[in-house]
Amino acid sequence: MTDPTLAEKAALRQAMKGLRKAIVPAAQAVAAQALAGHAEALAALRAPAIVSGYIPIRGEIDPGPLMAALVASGWRLALPRIEGEDLSFRAHRPGDVLACGGFGLTEPQADAPRVVPAMILLPLLAFDRRGHRLGYGRGYYDRALGRLPGALTIGLGHHAQEVPRVPVQAHDVPLDFIATDGALIDCRH
């Protein structure tokens, strides 16, 4: 018997990929700057430590300005690296040479030091106010977050990616916050 949640996720994933693809570059740049406006509130949640961001692909909101603002307030950067079926988090500094990874990702070199982030900024296709996110369906972030229960998790997206309810399965890990170009949403209950 097929899990109906998988079909719901697949349909929502297709719709949201189209929505995100329709966001023009000028609007993406404005959204990235608006996202950076949440840096002070996010930095105040924890003492400066390591924050993992990402290099955007396929219309993901660009966390670059937000990451730069967090660095300016004392945070150190990391980026995820796919290793088999898992993500590791590797130290990153602006200017570091990056590698081409699977799925079109740009990621740290294999010899970059492994780190444990205190805050993880992660992309999404859709989100709801319960903190559930829809990703690409491979579960990399869910597995990584399961290994890092103390990390503060912040999903990043455009406000238009909000839906009333993201279909969830037992392995899906809810996020602490969602940061968009329109709001910072506290999903902790």
Question: pLDDT over 70 for what percent of the chain?
Answer: 97
Pairing of strands 119-123, 106-108: unpaired
pLDDT tier for residue 1 given thresholds of 50, 70 and 90: very low
pLDDT tier for residue 104 given thresholds of 50, 70 and 90: low
Domain total in the chain: 1
Instruction: Please determine, for residue 134, whether its predicted confidence score (pLDDT) is greater than 70.
Output: yes
Pairing of strands 86-92, 76-83: antiparallel
Please check whether residue 153 is in contact with residue 162, taking contact to mean a CB–CB distance below 8 angstroms.
no
Looking at residue 104, which CATH number applies to its domain? 3.40.50.10420
Write out the residue range of the structural domain in which residue 48 sits. Answer: 4-186
Instruction: Please determine, for residue 22, whether its predicted confidence score (pLDDT) is greater than 80.
Output: yes
Please check whether residue 67 is in contact with residue 53, taking contact to mean a CB–CB distance below 8 angstroms.
yes
Tell how far CA 155 is from the center of its chain: 5
Q: Can you give the pLDDT at residue 102? A: 66
Residues 6 or more apart whose CB falls under 8 angstroms from that of 149 comprise none
Which of 148, 145, 123, 154 lies closest to 44 in space, CA to CA? 154
The average pLDDT across 61-68 equals 97
Interatomic CA distance for residues 154 and 121, integer angstroms: 5
